Amino acid sequence: MTKTKERLEAFKELLDRKGLKYTYERECIYDEVQRIDQHFDADSLYDRFKKRGARIARATVYRNLPLLLESGVIQKSAGEGKRDFYEKTTSKGHHDHMVCLGCKRIIEFHSDELEALQDKLSHQYKFKLIFHDHRLFGYCEKCRA
């Protein structure tokens, strides 16, 4: 079974577990999210439906994102302001962020060692890790002067 299908299953299982229904709108939202390779917020997702003429209300998008989050289909991404940002969960390509308090620049980084350590800690706490949000705040090379 492909990863994508596994995630859809996880979503359906969550709905089942909660006594919720797999509606047409939820299917649309799930599908659309899979097509987005960047991070996105609720409104930009809604816009994609609007531009295409799909009849999905903004409230429906807002109401369903938490379910996608809870099922691990999407994860929180580095927010750039007030809005919540998300990105679809993929096993590869994950990165974390260093945020410069001076120039606000965002440096992406990846560390296998870090990922491994998180797995180890999760295991210690009997926690089933789905995704994480890790940001380092400080000053970049230019701004630390």
Cβ-based neighbours of 54, under 8 Å, separated by 6 or more: 28
- Assess contact for 6 and 59: CB atoms under 8 A: no
Cβ-based neighbours of 53, under 8 Å, separated by 6 or more: none
Which region, judged by CB under 8 A, interacts with a copy of itself, from 34-42, 44-52, 54-62, 128-136? 128-136
Strands 74-77 and 96-100: unpaired
Residue of 16, 43, 121, 123 that binds a copy of itself (CB under 8 A): 121
Is 94 a binding residue for a copy of itself by CB under 8 A? The answer is no
Residue of 61, 75, 87, 88 that binds a copy of itself (CB under 8 A): 75
Residue of 20, 54, 59, 117 that binds a copy of itself (CB under 8 A): 117
Per partner kind, with CB cut-offs from 5 to 8 A, the member of a copy of itself, DNA, none near residue 41 is DNA
